[in-house]
Structure 1
Amino acid sequence: MQRISTKRGLAAGLATAAVAAGIAALGSGGSAAADSTATSAVSAGPASYTQAVPTGAPSDYSSSLERCATGVNHPISGANPILSEPLTTAFASNVGLSEAVSYSGDQYYGDWTFTFTNTSSETLATDCAVLIWRAPSSSDDHSYTASQAYGHPQQDYLEVPRGDGTSFYIARLGFHDVSLAQRQVAPGQTFTYTWGGAPSTAITNDQIRDSLRFTADLNLSANQSMILHYGTNRLTN
């Protein structure tokens, strides 16, 4: 059963989130099953961009500020279109970010964490950003941090199994009932997304890192076309 957890994701602010120093990097030819491993960071996206600023107040659900606070399931018929798309093999982003993956657990179960750093000169609003990545199948726990130690996160989420021990994961981040500043990431700050599950030798941490596509909402469209295209489900917080 899929569930969203906030107890870890809301435990610390973005400015303090980081991959622990001294953890050895996992090579691309190694196994994803390890006690504690981390990749090196990779970067993508422009250093400068324009992002529209939403209007409205927290809890004003008709305003653009709260555009991703609520949601519904968007089922699609037939095979999910992501299964026919080329695999992403290099981190891609429409905003300047660096990204690394760490794993903490054993050969039976553990947690992976994407750690993002805003490498751009802009303050990034993470509201309604979409993450698409490939990882071991059957993840059962998903969480992310707000730009403060709170943030009331929501998600639109979907797992699409590939039948080879890996799945595509699609997640749209959303917040509610907090100010714009608590949804933002200043230059140099970090934020994280964590998911849990059983590791698999079908994919390495480096391959997980390089599979990620990050799409920030730059025009207040909420990335809705992607959500409808892939048919995500709304998870409660």
Structure 2
Amino acid sequence: MHGKSTGRGLAASLGTVLLLAGLAAFAGGSPASADPNTTTPVSAGPADFTQAVPTGQPSQYSAPLERCANGVNHPVSGPNPILSEPLTTRFTSNVGLSEYVTFTGNQWYGTWNFVFTNTTSHILSTDCGVLVFRAPSSSDDHGYTATQPYGHPQQDYLEVPRGDGTSFYVARLGFHDVPLAQRQVAPGQSFTYALGGVPSSAITNTQIRDSLKFTADLDLKANESLIEHYGTDRLTN
């Protein structure tokens, strides 16, 4: 089963698999750049990386494979530290990815899709990967989709309003009860993180695209230090 999470918790269905139209064209060039609601793609991260492979079986919750299956809230005292950190103005990643943002909706409500493609020759596991980005405030719908069925996704998630119509968002992707292969993205394949909410003139789609930092879990430590630093909450499954 594949899922989608919301600010009200993971509801009855966690979404459906998104088969991205024009994926082959994107892998070799840009998406429909004539669309004013779709940005051009940008690339970041090394073409070569090493990612540790977890041991264990699905539903074996003490095993490294299920290291992000469960989570707890990590409240921080005082202002969130992200508010004092420099703004990210260029897409960054610790693995080779391309990214673009597309918006579907109107001035009252819509969905931003962050579309990532694995540009390396290695299989990438997105399990426990962390996204940090800036977008319009008060998102009420957010989740993960992919070009193949991904099972039982959930999130550690946080929104930090900046008071200017935009917020920082922190999300750690987590999976459970599915084999390793269903948590991976092959070379040339894509995955998408979607954010729903009300558009704001305070930030453009290009600025949203460039604000994103993706950190894959390369050492099986689950990016725990990042989510504790920012004080994420675990959304219910």
What is the rounded CA distance, in whole Å, between the counterparts of 2:173 and 2:96 in structure 1?
18
Instruction: Determine the structure 2 residue equivalent to 1:11.
Output: 17
CA–CA distance in 1 between the matches of 2:22 and 2:163? 37
Quote the residue 2:3 is aligned against: none
* SS state at 1:181 partner: helix
| Contact kept? 1:14, 1:148, Cα under 8 Å | no
Tell me how far 1:212 sits from its aligned partner.
0.1
CA gap of 1:14–1:224, structure 2 versus 1, over 3 A, is farther
What is the correspondence of 1:10-49 to structure 2 with a 5 Å cutoff? 10-12=16-18, 22=32, 24-26=34-36, 37-49=37-49
Q: Find the counterpart in structure 1 of residue 136 from structure 2.
A: 136
- CA RMSD of the aligned region, Å? 2.2
| d(CA) in 2 for partners of 1:103, 1:211 | 16
SS of 1:227 mapped into structure 2: helix
Q: Label 1:224 to 1:58 Cα distance change in 2 as closer, same or farther (>3 A).
A: same
Q: 1:114 to 1:89 in 2, by over 3 A?
A: same
Q: Which amino acid aligns with 1:235?
A: L
Runs of 4+ in 1 over 6 A off after TM superposition: 14-20
Letter in 1 for 2:116: F
Cα deviation, residue 17, structure 1: 6.4
Aligned partners of 1:10 and 1:144 also within 8 Å: no
**What does residue 161 of structure 2 align with?**
161
Partners of 2:183 and 2:12 in 1: how far apart?
Answer: 15
Alignment of 1:45-124 (within 5 A): 45-124=45-124
3-state DSSP class of the match of 1:155? strand
- Which residue of the partner structure matches residue 7 of structure 2? 2
Cα 1:129–1:14 change in 2 (3 A) is farther
| 1:32 paired residue number | none
1: CA distance, partners of 2:31 / 2:90: 24
SS state of the match for residue 226, structure 2?
A: helix
Gapped regions of structure 2 (runs ≥ 5): 1-5
Matches of 2:179 and 2:35, distance apart in 1: 37
Contact kept, 8 Å, 1:48 with 1:122, in 2: the verdict is yes
For 2:84 and 2:73, how far apart are their aligned partners in 1? 22
Distance 2:18 2:56 in 1: 26
Secondary structure at the aligned position of 1:145 is classed as: strand
SS of corresponding position for 2:182: helix
How far is 1:118 from its partner? 0.2
Residues 2 and 44 from structure 1, CA distance in 2 versus in 1: closer, same or farther, beyond 3 angstroms?
Answer: same
In the TM superposition, residue 151 of structure 1 has moved relative to its aligned partner by 1.2
In structure 1, the partner of 2:126 is: 126
TM-score (norm 2): 0.90
Supply the distance in 2 between the matched residues of 1:124 and 1:185 (Cα, whole angstroms): 5
Q: Distance in 2 between matches of 1:99 and 1:163?
A: 27
**TM-score under structure 1 length normalisation:** 0.90
User: Structure 1 counterpart of 2:118, which letter?
Assistant: N
Q: Which amino acid aligns with 2:50?
A: T
Identity %: 70
